Amino acid sequence: MFEKRRCHFTHIFELFARYIYVIVVTVITVCLNLADDILRDEEFVSRVKRFLGGELSAEGVMILAAAGILLAVSELMLLYCAFRWRYTFVSAEENTLIYETGKFLKKRVAIPFEKINTIDMGRNLFERLVGTCRLKIDTGAYSTSQEKNRSEMNLVFTLAEADEIRGYILRRAEADAEAALGSGKNPIVSKEPDWVIRAGAGDFILYGLTSSSVWKLFWMIVLGVMCVAELAEGLLAQTAEAVLPFAQDAIETVTQHNLFTLMLLLGAVYLGTAIISDVYTMVWASIRFYGFRVAREGRSVIVRYGLITEKNYTLQVRNIHALIVRQNLFQQMLGRCSVEAVCMGFGDEKDETALLLPIIKQSKLNALLGVILPEYVTEMNIRPRKRAGLLFHAVLPVAIWAAVCAGICAVCAWLEIPKTLPVALSVVAVAVRLLSGVLAYRNTSLDWNERVVSVQCGGLMKRVYRIRTDAVQEVQVNTDLIKRLFGIGTYYVHYHGPTFNNTSIAPHLSDALFAELADTVED
């Protein structure tokens, strides 16, 4: 065991940073609401002027008053954070990690080592500069309670202390009592893991090429222009006056040519935006996933990556209930995929994902999983799909889209609007929907054995869920009158995970599979 220890003093400022935004907004709001009353109080204004010994406008007095209130409230909040840090400790007793905080209203949390699901050692830029590390301990208890999106322990230590505590917990969780209960204050110092999977620069480049979001960049540009318009309206107006003649000439030039020329122009704009988006995504991926590596230590999986903000989390294998393999359209074409774990106690907070592999060859998936998670390596025999599923995946949706597009083109013709462009866009929309439907029919499948239930779904965005059979909570199949005529239904597999709704869906498959699947899950 180890004695009581207090976290690093910089935790005070990180606690304070959580409240400063609320403090500033509250003080400014209150001052603005009381501005008229304060400015009309001539006696108060004159007293402030005499106190400062200078000539100030009434607005200046108001600003100084707001600054004084903000400073006073901030000092009180800083003292509260320091008091909270002063009486926050972590220690170990027998088989339990003890986390306690508070002086008058004291809170003491006992966390059995064997119940700890994840250990997250994250470091932002500030923490890396001062040599500290945020240590988060999760058991998954808050994930299913009213106090969701919380960790049992979330403190800042020096990097050496955080690594020591992590190593102590892992060894105790492995039931190695003799190694864990050594003598001295610092009985355990964890060694560097034996990394078995590493990502390189080529992986980041491929990730950027296959994961970029052109639409995200487009909307970022639109929002940026809107902000500039609000903040620099005069400058924008002058720029518009200078550019407008050239824009009008360009529009006249384009409208004088046929649709093919217009499509080429749009294609060039899209290509330029796509290139910028790809470069941005590759740079972002290189920074985010810098030094990505994965290791297996006993019954734990360790993942570490990041250049500016470093992520270092440890997942207990027994609490990994599923794997999700994702592929967008580009990745399907290139045979690449990304893999993330569904683990109790991790993934219930915003932007928190237990990423295992950012991008790998799909053909190497089982080989790599055999090194870090052999529990999920299994050969699946995909059940045959009914051809009637194609009717619901592609034929009916495409027919509905075609009818809607035909209606839009008819309205354009009735309004005497040139119908060439609406017809062309309608053809593209129907073609994309047809492609998505056909891919969804090919990708959707369901299979299982005594270890893993595999649910595969999605069209342009394909997902494969490998769910541990004993983690499945419920299976159901929904059918309506028409689907029953074809003997198909939509399967829902609900499984135990870090959030309230952990469900995988396989639509339009044979309803005859339900009985066998239910028997396997029940056993």
Angstrom distance (rounded) from CA 152 to CA 136 = 8
Angstrom distance (rounded) from CA 118 to CA 498 = 11
Q: Do 522 and 395 belong to one domain?
A: yes
Q: Do 493 and 390 belong to one domain?
A: yes
Q: Which residues pair with 346 in a beta bridge?
A: 343
Number of structural domains, the chain?
4
Looking at mean pLDDT, say which of 235-239, 431-435, 497-501 comes out highest: 431-435
pLDDT at 466: 92
What CATH number does the domain containing 122 carry? Answer: 2.30.29
Task: Tell me which of 223, 255, 288 is where a domain ends.
Answer: 288
Total residue length of the chain? 523
Least confident of 4-13, 176-185, 408-417, 440-449: 176-185
Q: Do 182 and 214 belong to one domain?
A: no
pLDDT at 261: 64
Q: End-to-end distance of the chain based on CA atoms, in angstroms? A: 41
Q: Do 406 and 501 belong to one domain?
A: yes
Angstrom distance (rounded) from CA 369 to CA 361 = 12
- Burial-class residue 339 by CB neighbours within 10 Å (0-12, 13-18, 19+): buried
409: left (phi over 0), alpha (psi -120 to 50) or beta: alpha
Q: Do 112 and 78 belong to one domain?
A: no
Q: Do 222 and 146 belong to one domain?
A: no
pLDDT value at 267 more than 70: no
Angstrom distance (rounded) from CA 338 to CA 399 = 33
Angle 230-234-238 from CA coordinates, rounded to 5°: 125
Mean pLDDT of 129-133: 88
Q: Do 406 and 504 belong to one domain?
A: yes
Q: Do 178 and 98 belong to one domain?
A: yes
Per-residue pLDDT of 403-421, as tens digits, reads 998 888 888 888 777 666 6
pLDDT value at 146 more than 70: no
pLDDT at 366: 87
Q: Do 62 and 121 belong to one domain?
A: no
Task: Tell me which of 288, 319, 353 is where a domain ends.
Answer: 288
One-letter amino acid at 191 equals K
Q: Which domain, by its residues, includes 236? A: 209-288
Q: Is 134:121 a contact under the CB 8 Å cutoff? A: yes
- Per-residue CA distances from 119 to 311, 315, 320, 372 (Å): 11, 7, 13, 17
Q: Is 473 part of any domain? A: yes
Per-residue pLDDT of 307-335, as tens digits, reads 888 888 888 888 889 999 998 888 888 88
Q: Is 259:425 a contact under the CB 8 Å cutoff? A: no
pLDDT at 187: 42
pLDDT value at 208 more than 80: no
Q: Is 201 part of any domain? A: no
Cβ–Cβ contacts within 10 Å for residue 57, how many?
11
Task: Tell me which of 255, 288, 321 is where a domain ends.
Answer: 288
Least confident of 291-295, 349-353, 401-405, 516-520: 349-353
Q: Do 92 and 81 belong to one domain?
A: no
Interior/surface letters 202-214, b for 16+ CB within 10 angstroms, e for the rest: ebbbbbbbbbbeb
Q: Is 361 part of any domain? A: no
List, in order, residues 6 or more apart from 361 with CB less than 8 Å away.
335, 336
More confident: 298 or 387 = 387
pLDDT at 145: 43
Give the sign of the dihedral formed by CA 251, CA 257, CA 262, CA 265. Answer: negative
Per-residue pLDDT of 217-260, as tens digits, reads 555 555 555 555 555 555 555 565 665 566 566 555 555 555 55
More confident: 421 or 365 = 365
Q: Do 514 and 396 belong to one domain?
A: yes
